[in-house]
């Protein structure tokens, strides 16, 4: 029987848009704040102790900057994976999050903003990526630097849950979540 793959899910540090309360989605250029760099450095130190054998990151700037801290701490090269991007919110990206509570249907996994993707689409993207990763893992322990909704999708896929049963709680910025997966 194949051994489960250990994933270390690193949520990027605080970004300028996190601090400003703006919905980021797949907006590519948003950098980390000073606090975000400190969170990323702390996550990198934690990661070093967990000894991943591979480091893969979303290609969005806030994740890449976090992954650079992780690479420095672990000595691993960063591989970029667009499949690890945050859920796309299309036309809503850049808007204040507090204004969107009455706009977004958070209960419908098939709802999507204009030009965005639904939770079901995010879940499908993440599931396909994880199946490929499990089929040909680059190491027994893999660090994935990614985003809050993407981490929730990974957790759901690992537990065999669909997009309608994704965890409600998003891990905090700069956190490391250990997960074993066997798809």
Residue 179 has pLDDT above 90, yes or no: yes
12-21: pLDDT as tens digits: 999 999 999 9
Domain count, the chain: 1
Q: Report the C-alpha gap between 76 and 139 in whole angstroms.
A: 12
Residue 107 has pLDDT above 90, yes or no: no
Q: Report the C-alpha gap between 102 and 10 in whole angstroms.
A: 30
What CATH number is associated with residue 96?
A: 3.40.50.1240
Strand 176-181's sheet: what is its strand order?
A: 78-80, 54-57, 141-146, 5-11, 176-181
Please give the positions annotated as active site. Answer: 12, 86
- Residue 143 has phi, psi (to 5 degrees) of -95, 130
pLDDT of residue 180: 95
Supply the range of the domain harboring residue 108: 5-181
Q: What is the chain's percent helix, strand, coil content, to nearest 5?
A: 40, 15, 40
42-94: pLDDT as tens digits: 999 999 999 999 999 999 999 999 999 999 999 999 999 999 999 999 999 99
Nearest to residue 111, comparing CAs of 165, 60, 164?
164
CB contact at 8 A, 5 and 133: yes
User: Reduced to 3 states, what is the DSSP secondary structure of residue 19?
Assistant: helix
Q: Could you tell me the pLDDT band of residue 100, with boundaries at 50, 70 and 90?
A: confident
CB contact at 8 A, 125 and 58: no
User: Reduced to 3 states, what is the DSSP secondary structure of residue 12?
Assistant: coil
């Amino acid at each position: 029987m194949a051994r489960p793959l250990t994933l270390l899910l690193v949520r990027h540090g605080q970004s300028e848009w996190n601090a400003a309360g703006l919905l980021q989605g797949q907006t590519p250029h948003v950098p980390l704040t000073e606090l975000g760099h400190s969170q990323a450095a702390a996550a990198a130190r934690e990661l070093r102790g967990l000894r991943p054998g591979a480091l893969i990151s979303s290609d969005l700037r806030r994740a890449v900057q976090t992954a650079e801290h992780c690479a420095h701490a672990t000595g691993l090269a960063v591989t970029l994976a667009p499949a690890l991007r945050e859920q796309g919110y299309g036309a809503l990206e850049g808007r204040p999050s507090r204004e969107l509570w009455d706009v977004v249907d958070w209960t419908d996994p098939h709802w999507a903003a204009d030009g965005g993707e639904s939770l079901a689409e995010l879940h499908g993207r993440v599931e396909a990526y994880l199946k490929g990763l499990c089929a040909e893992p680059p190491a027994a322990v893999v660090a994935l630097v990614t985003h809050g909704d993407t981490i929730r999708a990974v957790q759901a896929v690992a537990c065999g849950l669909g997009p309608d049963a994704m965890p409600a709680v998003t891990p905090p910025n700069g956190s490391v979540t250990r997960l074993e997966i066997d798809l």
